[in-house]
Amino acid sequence: MTYLGLLIYALVVIGLLACDCCSGKKHPQVTAVDEDLSPAETLHRLRQFHGHLGPYAVLGYRLGGWLLERLGCGKYFGAHITVTGPGVTPFTCLLDGLQMSTGHTLGKRNLELVTGASRAPGVLFEIEAIADSGGAPLRVNIPASVADLFSEWMAAELSDEEIFDRTLSWPQEELWQELT
């Protein structure tokens, strides 16, 4: 091997060792927005995927990032998420937001919607997320008060940007509660 060949080989090895995916470093694709996307780009992609923009889709997007972070799980695979709640729009728009941020989808069957099941009083959605690697299930409730809040926002005919910003910056504890 020539000196240049050796140098290239060494650089490739160093590159591989430094790479997150090869070093096994956990890098959950967290947050309400994909880390490498600007808020404007995220809004654009969510609207492009969903066809319009409403608070339930944005809430699903935000919650999905939080769920993956809490589970220490990556995007697309690694968990099973069950959403129990009403089976009609606009509520079900939540599912599209969840699919966008978690990459867990109805088609892959690692995201599931259960409708018609009874829920605790005052609860709009019950969500359970379980990591494939095991561990305790993560359970979250979205309170019925969120439906009232979002009805107000939708009646106020806010712009997409306002809906997006409000939903992402609204106090988390008013949007969902983790059950212990």
Which residue's entry shows tokens 């096994």? 24
Evaluate whether 97 touches 57 at the Cβ level (below 8 Å): yes
- Least spacing, CB of residue 49 vs Zn ion, in Å: 10
- What residue ranges bind Zn ion (CB under 5 A)? 54, 93
* Residues whose CB is less than 8 angstroms from the CB of residue 162 and which lie 6 or more positions away in sequence, other chains included: none
Tell me the closest approach of the beta carbon of residue 91 to Zn ion, in angstroms.
Answer: 9
- Minimum CB separation of residue 135 from Zn ion in Å reads 32
Which residue number has the CB closest to Zn ion?
Answer: 93
Strand partners, 139: 128, 179
The length of the chain is 180
3 state SS of 2: coil
Q: How far is the CB of 88 from Zn ion (least distance, A)?
A: 11
Strands (E), the chain: 79-84, 111-114, 123-131, 138-143, 177-179
User: Of 93 and 142, which CB lies nearer to Zn ion in the complex structure?
Assistant: 93
Measured from the CB atom, the residue of 93 and 168 that comes closer to Zn ion is 93
Q: How far apart are CA 72 and CA 29, in angstroms?
A: 9
Q: Which of 134, 94, 144 is nearest to 114 (CA)?
A: 94
Smaller CB distance to Zn ion: residue 28 or 160? 160
- Comparison of 73 and 142: residue with beta carbon closer to Zn ion: 142
Q: C-beta of 14: minimal distance to Zn ion in Å?
A: 47
| Complex with Zn ion: residue 54 or 65, whichever CB lies closer | 54
Q: Is 75 helix (H, G, I), strand (E, B) or coil?
A: coil
